[in-house]
Structure 1
Amino acid sequence: MSTTVTPQPPVADDQVIERTVLAERPRSWWQLPTALTVLALAAFVLFGLRVPSGAHTTFQIAREGNLNPGGVIPETVDVPSAATAIVLAVLCLAIATFFWWASATIRGLDRRVRVTLLVVFGVLWVLSFLTWVNAGISQAVDLGSILQATLALAVPLTFGALSGVLSERAGLVNIAIEGQLLFGAFGAALVSSLVGGAAGPWAGLVAAPIMALVIGALLALFAVGYHVQQIIVGVVLNVFAVGLTSFFFGSVMQSDPARFNAPSRLPSWRIPVLADIPLVGRVLFDQNILVYLMWVIVALLTVALFRTRWGLRVRAVGEHPRAADTVGIDVARTRWTNVLMGSAVAGLGGATLTIGTNVAFGENMSAGKGYIALAAMILGRYHPVGALLAALMFAFADALQLRLSGGGRLPSEFLLMLPYIVTLFAVAGVVGRVRVPAADGEPYVKE
């Protein structure tokens, strides 16, 4: 039996060829709408329906002396707790419903629209929570203080997460962020105390990234030079950092704290007019140089990684090092460079723990912040802006824990779990499956 094949006419050179893409719903399409729906219903039931009858919540927005012509923005806002929490929960439920509709109709949302809606959902949900937890309390909820505490807690996490982004985009797993933060804090405190005076904190600011480079150089030496398993090297370096700083803290710093471990602080740079904006003025425009450096590094790193030739080469090394080597990119040098740059950035985060907050160095004072920064990097999808937003989310949960620790509506055990509960919901519902750089953690041996 023969089959006749009808020849197809040739395609002219100037003929337009249209590509047809069939819409296909991803397998995890239900995760984000489900998580948002659960959170919205929890806000409605727990925060809206369980508020004491007749209770009110007071929020402090502006302060005396803020840039507030004519008193347009009230200093405090008093709202009925039950009605406010219910309205906010219903708005959250509306956003969740929109995500269900967009997913069910296979309508791809623009990334900016998606992120904006998620941020709005988070703000509404947190306001509903604050309305419930502060219902009937005479003291006003100072939103400005909460935001200030959030930023202060987020700075070391952001620097640590950016260190991870630099390393892992080049294909090297950086578990040693904890040690880099600790060495940076130690170096900043020690050098600042030895120099003393007004120049002390600035000398400590220079010393912090240099001290952190020690951990970065050891990580690159063993992981890139000798191809040792990267996770094991990172864990060992963290233990090494804790042991070495604890030894010098006990044998040197405690023997003469005034000389070797005197608290000092970088001066704050206040931007006139902008610092007087209600609610966010002091948070954004009355900070020390480390906070301003954080914003600058996030912006520069975003542009460098995704808009420059250098960033293309770094990402090529992290995705397919052999192909990068084939076109002339030095894989080992690229990984060395990125690890050292990331270590210096993490050292700035360590400086935040001492000279950034006027605190003397303490034994193991990083207290796991390097691992939280690593989680922020993964939650942020290995992107500088995503890492910043994830660090702010972790820090906000921690700030809420500190703000509410004196209240009686929530048990203290739950408050201690709050940052990790937020993490679980975020990883399970918002991020889902994160795509790791293909060659991340894989040593490269040049043939």
Structure 2
Amino acid sequence: MVNLVALGEVVTSLGFAPSDRIVRQRINAVEQQTIYLPSDMINSDGSLDVYDDVLRLFRPTYQKNHPAIQCAGWVGYIPLNDRYALEVGTRVPVSNLERMVGMAAGYSPEILRQYTRPFGQTDERPAALFDMLADQLLDSFDHIWDNGLLKTYERVKRAGQSPVGRVMPFQTGLRSARAGRPVAVSSAFHRSSDFGPNRAIKHSLEKLLARYVTIAEDSQRKRTQRLRRALERLGDVGPLTASEANPKAIARYVDRLPSGHERYGDALMVAQLIIYDVGLSIRNTGGVAILPTILINMAVVFEDYVRRVLADGLREGARVQVKDGNKGGDGGARRLLFDPIAVPFVNPEVTPDIVIEVDGRTALVIDVKYKDAPKIPERSDVNQVVLYGAKYEASQVMLLHAGRPNGRNSVELCGQVGSYKVYNGMMNLDTSNVVEEELKFVDAVRSLLP
């Protein structure tokens, strides 16, 4: 892993990165945990002193007559106010967490752009976080362009009839004697944007463009257009040289930035991550970069991750299709509850997390619960999934939990409710071999399919 800490230390010491950066006291927590809050977070009117846009992520409560917040499934550095922040970790090992986020197709993390935090680095690069880096670099470059590119003075020698700058007598005499006519050799300093900082930014933009031109999704079209426009503006900037392509060199560029050009520090921080193919650690803080706060909703990630695991594991021709019940249209399986419905009522939607079809008929409906596996699923959860079975005419339904106690199978039959078999699905996300855990679950699900 490339050591990029040098630049992060320089940026921090100079106060670069967004000007509203605040150093907050961290309160350590784990997902799903209820945390007591400091007493000075209570306002005079009894309300919690928490940012409004952050408070919506939690459920404020009181525990033993103390103000508290239940962390739910959010993971990351969560600013509460100008004094405190929650550092919420997950029970999932870092390597498994990065894999889950990377496999959660279509998942986009929550980005609190008005708050910043220091990031550590990782070898994993989930697509959603890569998009965030691209946007951050483009936003910084747009600001740089609006305020003018940095330029440096370089010495340029000229030989001809019209000298510019300082005439060099010895070389002028030598060239004139050889040519048999007056030739003036002069030297002058000219401003140029073709130097280290701009080359590093251009190189990172080129790497981004090379990535995004291969992605045909419409959602990436605007990002690709912005990258092309940025590179056109850097048309006079040459390629990054070997001596400039190392973390210490980029750190020196930031260290020597003149005042009023803080956005170069922001851009170069992101550029180094792109140049060296280094990802951001979702969970751990560090000195690699100071960027907007990124939060991961583990409940959503787990659902998207499991859907991807099943879709990849059950690729058996066109017989088996794994669909998302939260969506309609192609690949979706969302339906309306009543058929027909009495007028004038609004027909609510039915949105199971995963619908598995075999030869066009629903064979299994799965509802994903990001919580530990119970001995038997909770009654309210069973009620929900049996309704799904009735609506989708599926005789088998499952509640999948994020945990598998030792000695228990990946899928267990709980019993039968009417004509519906209810299964308890379990995946151990704390395992050291999550790929093996995925295969066990896929095999168990496959055994239920006709």
TM-score (norm 2): 0.21
Higher strand share: 2
Q: Which has the higher contact order (CA 8 A, sep 6+)?
A: 1
In our comparison, the structure showing a higher alpha carbon Rg is: 2
Higher helix share: 1
TM-score (norm 1): 0.21
